[in-house]
Amino acid sequence: MEDNQIIDLYFARSEQAIQETDTKYGGYCYSIAYNILTNQEDAEESVSDTYLSAWNAIPPRRPSLLAAFLGKITRNISLDRWRKYRAFKRGGGQVEIALEELRDCVSGEVSAEEKAIRREILACLNNFLETLNDVERNIFLCRYWYLDSIAEIAEKSGFSDSKVKSMLHRIRKRLNAHLEKEGLR
């Protein structure tokens, strides 16, 4: 079923919307949740919570990209659950390691004074991502959006672990330089 048809089901308040969402995007959402939580039951709960959040958000919102909309909800719910349970030991620390790698480039602190700067950083980050080639962008997003491990990225990309680590290191250095150039570091 097409995304617009699924969204129309949400607007019609049809329970079939959840079934169609699960059929089309269940595996995608589960993958995001599991990469963060590394626990099957927690990942399944996050996916269920994603469907509830989508149900509550549509309407009035009409997402232009349903996959991105669901992915963002799943990621946020899963990160909230991870923070709550502090699943560091269960997942070998992949979430904490990935977030730590980016800590020096992008601060996670949000204060009233920094809201405008945060929007600038987001725009700057999007501009930076456009400068990367497809391979670099995919590796960066796998690591820092989907929170894949180095080994998973290496397997998906066909590169060695050390090549992936090296690429991520160089990309982070370029990101840092880009943020400095834009006056955001």
Give per-residue pLDDT as tens, 124-171: 888 899 999 999 999 998 898 888 889 999 999 999 999 999 999 999
Between CA 135 and CA 172 the distance in angstroms is: 15
Interval 111-135 mean pLDDT: 81
Query: Which residues neighbour 20 within 8 Å (Cβ) at sequence distance 6 or greater?
Result: 1, 5, 6, 9
Query: Which residues neighbour 124 within 8 Å (Cβ) at sequence distance 6 or greater?
Result: 178, 179, 182, 184
What's the whole-number average pLDDT of the chain? 86
Which residue has better confidence, 116 or 179? Answer: 179
Whether the per-residue pLDDT at 96 is higher than 80: the answer is no
Residue 120 pLDDT level (bands cut at 50, 70, 90):
confident
What are 157's two structure tokens? 């990309």
Interval 29-43 mean pLDDT: 92
Q: What is the pLDDT of residues 132-143, one digit of tens each?
A: 999 999 999 889
Whether the per-residue pLDDT at 103 is higher than 90: the answer is no
Tell me the angle at which helices 134-144 and 115-131 cross, rounded to the nearest 10 degrees.
140
